[in-house]
A and B are shown apart, each in its own frame.
Chain A
């Protein structure tokens, strides 16, 4: 039986009221850990755990395993993906994990774990260069200016595209100084992460300290830029309560 629009509005109101209750319940942790928070915490964990089981089947086992094992056919009965029966081998391997309960055979639970870790380790070697090389390359910043005609990059207002292109090719002294700071920053930060050399040398320990400060500035910058993003989330919550909820209530029970 199709729902009437009024019934749908009531459903919406119930749904959003539930969401508002959750918001208040979980926010109560800011005051202290109360029974109210504990109630919503357990609802949350319960829903998350229950949904996890559904999602495991829906998002992992069915598309990634069962469908590959049985192959796929479209509605007309044409095969779109061949069936790879070898995938069935993962079932006994996965079940070996359950030997943890046995005193005698619990070593076998390391087999699926070893496979997961082996695959991961191989990927690290495969991907290392692709991940690290852009960082290494872009840290190589030129520090010799190519022109002394101007200290800072001149204004490009009203120049032809060709002239702008030629200007962009140049390295201005100010840019060179920035690049030098960049290179010092990265080398000194890297030196902080060297563990096995004793930095008793005064020059080295100063360099090391510069590195530590650079790291702190870098972390501070992340902190600063995240604060605003997090406040946007609170505003979003407030909108949910004061605008969406009230609108839904009006729609369902107004008039």
Chain B
């Protein structure tokens, strides 16, 4: 317990929960930020682009600095950093985890826009009395139900400190409802859609096999080898057959200590083919794709960070 307490570090920005300075800090920060936001709305048009660009740049800069700035070596929690370089390095290392979820939090705030989009389309259908408005009702009812049941269930569970709700017998109406809707319907539908892919994969493969181009033949041939190697009955039959043949081969001057002469012949086993294709062709091909994609992301990141992109997403 003592150790745990010792880890709580207060500072000017990290204060004791629900203390006076916390409340003051919270209100002042909020008012300042809200004031800044209102102030921004008065900004003349030619300053808009720089403001957005500078914001973007500063956010990226923290990561870039963390990347380049020498981080303190082997700094223990109870040590004071030596000098300015180490202090900055430690500051950056401490800031980074705090930023990790910022994008997530902002996206959560924006979710309201998404919900609005969905609601507008479906309430619009109901108001305009379109013929398929029944489905919109279905959607709205199920969305409302699961959000109400989900929230009540969540609150009940977070108040349940004794762990009573772990046992199904003690569940209330809302817990059961949430379980049926989430576990019984939503998760099931997820896996139904996922398994649908199996049927689609068949029809896609059928068409791909019919295309008469060299490239598509090459692709489907390698797919076939891999597929066969994963079909255990076929793989087993094939491999046993090869092993038998290898055993039966009479190799002159074979090393008697080797139990299966004809070692090279073993390479004809389908699992060996599959592994060879995977190891010597699939891996390099996909790695080349990866290099390209990583570079694309790097270049795009760079352009966005430095505010070079024009049109499209930038102001």
- The residues of A with any CB-CB pair to B shorter than 8 Å are 2-3, 8, 11, 14-16, 18-19, 22-23, 26-27, 29-30, 38-54, 56-58, 60-61, 64-65, 68-73, 75, 78-98, 100, 104-105, 107-108, 110-126, 128, 131-132, 135-136, 139, 151-152, 154-155, 157-158, 178, 181-183, 185-186, 189-190, 192-193, 211-228, 230-231, 233-234, 236-237, 240
Contacts and interface: CB of A to CB of B under 8 A. Distances in A.
B142 A50 contact: yes
A122 B111 contact: no
Contact of A234 (B99, B141, B195, B294): B195
B197 to A, nearest CB: 5
Given A116-B103, A122-B62, A128-B294, A236 B222 contact: no
B63 A119 contact: yes
Given A15-B179, A72-B17, A116 B304 contact: no
A54 B198 CA distance: 31
Nearest to B151: A54
B198 A230 contact: yes
Contacts of B123: none
B166 interface: no
B127 interface: no
A91 B30 contact: yes
A237 B191 contact: yes
Interface in B1-44: 1, 4-5, 8-11, 13-19, 22, 25-26, 29-30, 33-34, 36-37, 40-41
Nearest to B112: A98
Interface centre among B136, B154, B195, B205 (most CB of A within 10 A): B195
Interface in B229-276: 229-231, 257-260, 263-264, 274, 276
B51 interface: yes
4 tightest A-B CB contacts, nearest first: A94-B109, A122-B63, A224-B226, A218-B285
Contacts of B40: 108, 111
A contacts with B: majority SS: helix
Nearest to B216: A216
B305 A190 contact: no
B185 A220 contact: no
B146 to A, nearest CB: 4
A121 B304 contact: yes
Contacts of B287: 135, 139, 186, 189
Contacts of B225: 221, 224
A47 B177 CA distance: 12
B198 to A, nearest CB: 4
B79 interface: no
B55 A217 contact: no
A117 B201 contact: no
Contact of A47 (B37, B146, B229, B284): B146
A119 B219 contact: no
Given A115-B56, A221-B277, A89 B29 contact: yes
Given A85-B15, A224-B225, A230-B201, A217 B63 contact: no
A225 B191 CA distance: 19
Contacts of A86: 13, 25, 29
B contacts with A: majority SS: helix
Contact of A118 (B18, B58, B147): B58
Given A46-B141, A90-B106, A100-B113, 10 more contacts: A22-B189, A30-B196, A46-B138, A47-B186, A88-B33, A185-B285, A221-B223, A228-B230, A230-B198, A237-B191
A181 B26 CA distance: 62
A108 to B, nearest CB: 6
A67 to B, nearest CB: 10
B224 A224 contact: yes
A131 B297 CA distance: 12
Given A124-B298, A217-B219, A224-B230, A81 B285 contact: no
Contact of A51 (B113, B147, B184): B147
Given A27-B192, A96-B37, A69 B142 contact: no
B219 A223 contact: yes
Contacts of B16: 71, 79, 82-83
Given A88-B33, A93-B106, A118 B264 contact: no
Contacts of B80: none
Contacts of A190: 288, 291-292
Contacts of A227: 198, 201, 205, 223, 227, 230
B201 A226 contact: yes
Nearest to A223: B223
Nearest to B261: A155
Given A83-B18, A221-B277, A110 B294 contact: no
14 contacts: A43-B139, A44-B193, A50-B146, A58-B154, A71-B22, A85-B29, A93-B106, A98-B113, A114-B55, A121-B60, A126-B63, A126-B67, A135-B290, A186-B285
A52 B111 contact: yes
Given A65-B105, A79-B17, A192-B288, A216 B189 contact: no
A95 B224 CA distance: 53
